[in-house]
Chains A and B, each alone.
Chain A
Amino acid sequence: MKSLHPLTWWIWSLLIVGAVIATNSAWAAGFAIAVAAISVHQFAEDAPWAKSFWFSLRLGAIILLIRTIVGVLIGVPIPGTKLFTVPILPLPSWIAGIRIGGVVTQERLLSSIHEGLIIIAVICLFGAAVSLTSPHKLLRVTPVVIYEFGVATVIATSALPQLVQSVGRIRRARTLRGDENPSWRSIAIPLLEDSLSRSLELAAAMDSRGYGVSRKRSRYRPIAWRQIDSAVVTSAACALALALVLR
């Protein structure tokens, strides 16, 4: 699974998102989230970006909570089975038209949850795509039309770990000068100056190596699209087709 084309999981999750939206069903959404979770658990590499799915899941749960609470507190009442009552809070008159509280019905609660689940499914499927794809490989398949921007992205992502190292170094030096708790300014300014002069060195090196000379560029190890990629994508496409048919 490691050698899948970086776009495979993205296309897969976009197709499943399409299926979930087409069915507009909370059950389908829940099922999609489960499928995403299982895929991430099975296939994601042990790498920093693999945490993205679980981050999305947490974010989705928070959004569901927000939507439910907002729906309960200031939702448009939906008549039906009464569950409980929230006391009505009086609000200042300039926030007109809002009434907090009231009768909360089962239909109201379910409506919030239903809508929320679909949104969460979308977020989680995005998160799954991120978790399952190495950003380095993704950068390697950036289309030639955005080559320059892609190079800038590569530079930015490669520079990040070096920045962390530099901060450590500068912090140590500040401590040595007697600053036990260096102010963030005394670390940030040297870090900024250090990074800026590095970027100028980098620019000279890039110019020397021929960056910007040719308008076309080639790809070192083109990542091939293989049968297994098609298999993964087809499975998601079937789900979408099914959803459209069953609507």
Chain B
Amino acid sequence: MINFSNVSLIYPTSTKTILEDLSFSIVEGELVLVIGSTGTGKTSLLQLINGLVPHHTGGILAGDITVDGISTKLVRPGELAHLVGIVGQNPAQGFVTDTVEEELAFGMEALNLAPDLMRKRVEEILDLLALAHLRNRAISTLSGGEQQRVAIGSALVMHPKVLVLDEPTSALDPIAAEEVLSILHRLVHDLSLTVVIAEHRLERVIGFADRIIHIAGDGNAKIDLPEIILKEADIAPPIVHLARALGLSDVGLSVRDVRRMTETIRDNGKDIEGALSTLGAEKILAKDLTIKYGSNVILKSLSASVRAGEIVALMGRNGAGKSSLLTALVGLQKPDSGTSHICGTASTDLKGKVRRETVGFIPQEPSDLLYGQSVVGECQQGDKDNQIAPGTTFALLQRIVPSISSGTHPRDLSEGQRLALALAIVLSAQPQVLILDEPTRGLDYQSKALLISLLQNYSKELGRCVLIATHDVELVAELADRVIFLADGEIVADGPTLDILLSSPAFAPQVAKVMSPRRWLTVSDVIAAMEA
């Protein structure tokens, strides 16, 4: 179905080779996963399949790419729309119209399909993706998972033979991600659709992949069966790290596989007691916090606290009230009743300099915080705002991400670098409390590891506290001491990470699922238990 022969790619404006002499074939009905660190060219590879590269972006291309026998050299991307559907990283930015039904019809109208055919197909897709009840809704009112389904629907409505997706699950909570992936799985197996997915978070996708393409970043790329690629790749989900750490001869791709291989370890290992860390005073305190939006009650009389030295994760479905809680704590939103204090100051009293030095908040889009024209300019502004020695912020940034170059425009940075820049700016004010909203969206494993060590350092060594709202179960397993679980505006669980994560199958990390009923959350837990 898709054939790359001796493909090399360079963009005219840079000297870096994106792909070097890449050859592979994807047959019909395969689900292929593309992995690689940020900036290695995953998006370029995906865009080569439908011809966006080089017809839309420009580029110097050697070799040939054919999809179902048609070479992408000879046709424009739009002419391949009936063959290849592509869903970009940020589906919300790819919507032309504002209602679901019109969005689904847009591509077909542009290709001049007959009205009856269009009607039929729209109905099919609405049923296939369970969007029928949303047909007249404005797209901006939909949740992330629903928007993702609409984006996939807009691509599928052309009845393509190939579907290409760029990080489809990065913005979704685990449940919505499962839904999207199972839809894709169904399409592959029922309709023999060929699917190519680029993903960072491999835990969810790895079980579905038939083959993996690993892009190394120096232009080399390998395609092979998942077991073979993951044996040595630096990018791997936790169960693969587990298999490697335990010295298993094969890597398993699913929880079931690894469970079968680790029976003896489970039987012989001991549960570890969580180290009782000395906690300081309460830094964040919320009491009977209620927030209403019109007649909707978002937070119902919620009380919670975070102590110095603690890292607390706030989890829950989208819409449970996590973001509202965070904005109320930081003082951006006045609660309808109840109080919240940070380091003794009422949240609503936090303004200007006091707010900066008390609490650092990284919103879901870190680039909202940035408005400078260059990295170094942004840091200098940070120095000025906080009245500290010039250069401090930049030095801090370089400790987090050594390879960042000072003249880059903040919008040209990768996700991880942008987050690092936002963190540097926020941390240079040395706040007592750090709050982050969904920091690991779009981050690869490397950047995530850096973030984890940074936050651990911040809380343990400096004795400050951290509150993170996140869906990323693996992050929580590695980092958090405590988990607060929100549902429908109320706290349904509040306790040590170990207890909370192990009590729900949907929110258990992979290692825990493998090692159940042993109470281990991460690879290091397992190793530590074995050495004990």
Contact = CB atoms under 8 A, between A and B. Distances in A.
Interface of A: 136, 140, 151, 154-155, 157-158, 161-162, 165, 169-170, 172-180, 186, 189-190, 193-194, 197-198, 201-214, 216-222
A92 to B, nearest CB: 50
Contacts of A140: 102
Nearest to A208: B86
Interface in B76-133: 76-79, 81-82, 84-86, 88, 90, 93-99, 101-102, 105-115, 118-119, 122
B363 interface: yes
A213 B93 contact: no
A173 B115 contact: no
Contact of A173 (B77, B79, B95, B369): B369
6 contacts: A176-B369, A204-B88, A208-B84, A213-B78, A213-B79, A218-B109
A170 B363 CA distance: 10
Interface in B353-367: 353, 355-356, 361, 363, 365, 367
B78 A211 contact: yes
A158 B96 contact: yes
Nearest to B93: A201
Interface of B: 47, 50, 52, 55-56, 76-79, 81-82, 84-86, 88, 90, 93-99, 101-102, 105-115, 118-119, 122, 138, 140, 154-155, 158, 327, 330, 332, 351-353, 355-356, 361, 363, 365, 367-371, 385, 411, 425, 429
A161 B98 CA distance: 10
A208 B77 contact: yes
The 10 closest A-B pairs by CB, nearest first: A205-B94, A173-B368, A213-B78, A210-B81, A220-B105, A209-B107, A201-B93, A210-B78, A158-B98, A178-B356
Interface of A is mostly: helix
Nearest to B104: A220
B140 A210 contact: no
Given A172-B368, A173-B369, A177-B356, A207 B78 contact: yes
A19 to B, nearest CB: 36
B363 A176 contact: yes
A212 B55 CA distance: 13
B86 A216 contact: no
B94 A201 contact: yes
A177 B385 contact: yes
Contact of A151 (B94, B96, B108, B158): B96
B363 A178 contact: no
Contact of A222 (B76, B115, B122, B155): B115
A123 B56 CA distance: 46
B374 to A, nearest CB: 13
A222 B109 CA distance: 11
B368 A193 contact: no
B94 A212 contact: no
Contacts of B105: 220-221
Given A177-B369, A204-B52, 16 more contacts: A151-B96, A158-B98, A165-B140, A175-B355, A178-B429, A201-B93, A203-B56, A204-B47, A204-B88, A205-B86, A208-B50, A208-B85, A211-B78, A220-B101, A220-B102, A220-B119
Nearest to B370: A190
A208 B115 contact: no
A186 B371 contact: yes
B52 A220 contact: no
B106 A216 contact: no
A190 B411 CA distance: 10
